[in-house]
Amino acid sequence: MMSARYGLAFLVFAALGGCVHQPLAVPATTVADANYLFQLGLMRGHLLAAHALYAIGEGEMARTHSKHPADELYAGLEAEFAARGATPFAAQLEAHADAMTSGTTADVDAAYAAVLPAIAATEAAVEDTSANLKARVIVLLLREAADEYAIGIVDGQLENAHEYQDAYGFTQVALQLARAEHARLAQWEGEDRQTFRRIATAIQALGDMWPTLVPPPRLQQHAARIHSAAAEVERLALRLQPPNRFR
């Protein structure tokens, strides 16, 4: 599902942290970087869901998800790519969608293997590599996943399988980011690394909300669990050291 929330609203939302209390002052560059990485994370989530569905033989659902990064998100990032000196990856996205439509399994796997490093290269254009920024992106991804899940499962009833699958993809990307940051911080072996271990554990605990990629008609799960996980990540992030040039 696409709405204006993928635009300026996210900048405001990121700045406020989604909380009613007075937020800490956050540099505008940090907000912009978080929003940029968040939207790239949404692309990753759509593609992850597409690939997972394709792998279990759900080609039609997979094709729908594979088109969303280009159809809904990419155009809004082109100016960011140019400003940051990042290499665009429209061709890789198109090749992935084409492979989903008319290629073999090998073609799909190859296209997926090509588009992921292309996205990673644009993420690397962000100069801020702090653990704090990664935590902010994780929170944004989880909140978006919660919104999507609330559309997909309503009062225990399946209403929209696509949004349920989006929520899965976004949550998995958040988990990947937490695990990657935990691994990156290994060289310091400090409290920040343990914080990301706890963040990953909090996200991993949500796994039972997606018993299958194609959801059953009834599922007694609630999006509030994902919102709670996002709040827990925010709480844990308060333990992180202030950003510095080493992190």
10-residue averages of pLDDT along the chain (247 residues):
40 35 45 93 98 97 96 93 95 97 96 98 95 96 98 97 98 98 85 94 98 96 98 93 53
Three-state SS letters, 73-108 = HHHHHHHHHHHHCCCCCHHHHHHHHHHHHHCCHHHH
Q: How far apart are CA 95 and CA 116, in angstroms?
A: 12
Q: How far apart are CA 124 and CA 60, in angstroms?
A: 32
CB 134 within 8 A of CB 150: no
Q: What's the gap between Cα 17 and its chain centre?
A: 16
Q: What is the pLDDT of residues 214-238, one digit of tens each?
A: 999 999 999 999 999 999 999 999 9
Q: How far apart are CA 150 and CA 163, in angstroms?
A: 8
Helix, strand or coil, per DSSP, at residue 64: helix
